[in-house]
Amino acid sequence: MTLEEGKQPNIEWMTSLGSYSPTLLDLPLTKLAIPGSHNSGTFNLDASGGLSPGTSADVINLVNNPTVGPLAKGVVHRWSVCQSLDFIKQLNAGVRYFDLRVATKDASEDLYFVHQLFGLKVTELTESIVKFLQEHPHEVIFLDFNHFYSMELEHHIQLITHLIYVFGPKICHRRDPDSLTLNKMWEEEKQVIIFYQDAAGEDFLETFTTASLSAPWPNTPETSKSIQFLTSLHEHRCSKGFLVSQGVLTPTMTTIMAGLFSTLETWNRQWTPVFCSWIKERSAKFIQPLNIVITDFVENDDFVQTVIDLNKSRTDLPTF
């Protein structure tokens, strides 16, 4: 089942979370189940442009492969797009965490989202979020800037100062992440939490550093190994701060070469139902409950609703 066009039952799921139980509003955000998207800005990659900084050697070799020839860019595009929904549609669907990779582009002063190819300008994300936050003042957004390519200190400062200018007083300043709750965010009129995983962000109190968030990567194309990785993470590890569960399969070059005319989305259809079933089996009683949960193509298999529903089992968790 996919998210039906026009229906947006989770557009204000944080706003209405107290309907499950008022105690959830005082539960640390690090203990809530929050849906997110993997490689959030890849829905509009440009197949006609050049490869982006940070492109893997395997992909570069593929593009230069005389056998694949002019088909190469199309192959790269089909296997690099990880989301179908644009930023506004992701927000409306209930996605609250965004996984973001940024790079500079030759002959441009702008910064772009990338994944082997160039996507939209960063400003197009911030414009979408500002509009959404104005219309939904009790929703909280998590922006995780975690990969940077061909960026010098001046580019980092450009990006951070842009975020501060655009979101202003809505930004939650750095503090103990386990102290944050929805009620506290609402009382302070804060709606944006920015993770900035580069040393350049440490001088800005508007950003949370790498120490505030952990996001282990399964890095496997195999369903069984990814499930095993995620299960081990939540049964044997107790972390402080935010924890991202990356519910993704990572294709190898062998995978891609075997599916030159296929897409990541088609290949991913085997995975999402299995992952959603695994999510449903997780309960608040595990040593490490699910916190931020991400996947590719978030509209599929009721992923967002499946994650949000985990909060129903957390009404009796301690609020400290």
In this prediction, residues 300-312 reach a mean pLDDT of 95
CA angle 205, 210, 211 (to 5 degrees): 90
The Cα–Cα gap between 62 and 147 comes to 23
Q: Which residue among the candidates 38, 147, 155, 234 is catalytic per the annotation? A: 38
Residue 38 is among the residues annotated as catalytic for this protein: yes
Q: Is the pLDDT of residue 191 over 90?
A: yes
Residue 287 binned pLDDT confidence (cut-offs 50, 70, 90): low
Q: What is the pLDDT of residues 56-92, one digit of tens each?
A: 998 998 888 888 767 899 999 999 999 999 999 999 9
Q: Is the pLDDT of residue 283 over 90?
A: no
The share of the chain scoring above pLDDT 70, in percent, equals 93
Q: Return the biggest CA–CA distance within the chain.
A: 62
Task: Name residue, tokens 């492969």.
Answer: 65
Q: Is the pLDDT of residue 1 over 50?
A: no
The Cα–Cα gap between 9 and 297 comes to 18
Residue 115 is among the residues annotated as catalytic for this protein: yes
Q: Which residue among the candidates 115, 147, 155, 156 is catalytic per the annotation? A: 115
* Global confidence as pTM: 0.95
Residue 315 binned pLDDT confidence (cut-offs 50, 70, 90): confident
Distant-in-sequence, close-in-space partners of 126: CB < 8 Å, separation ≥ 6 = 162, 163, 166, 167
Average pLDDT, the chain: 93
- CB count in 10 Å sphere of residue 6: 5
The Cα–Cα gap between 183 and 199 comes to 30
Least confident of 119-133, 235-249, 274-288, 300-314: 274-288
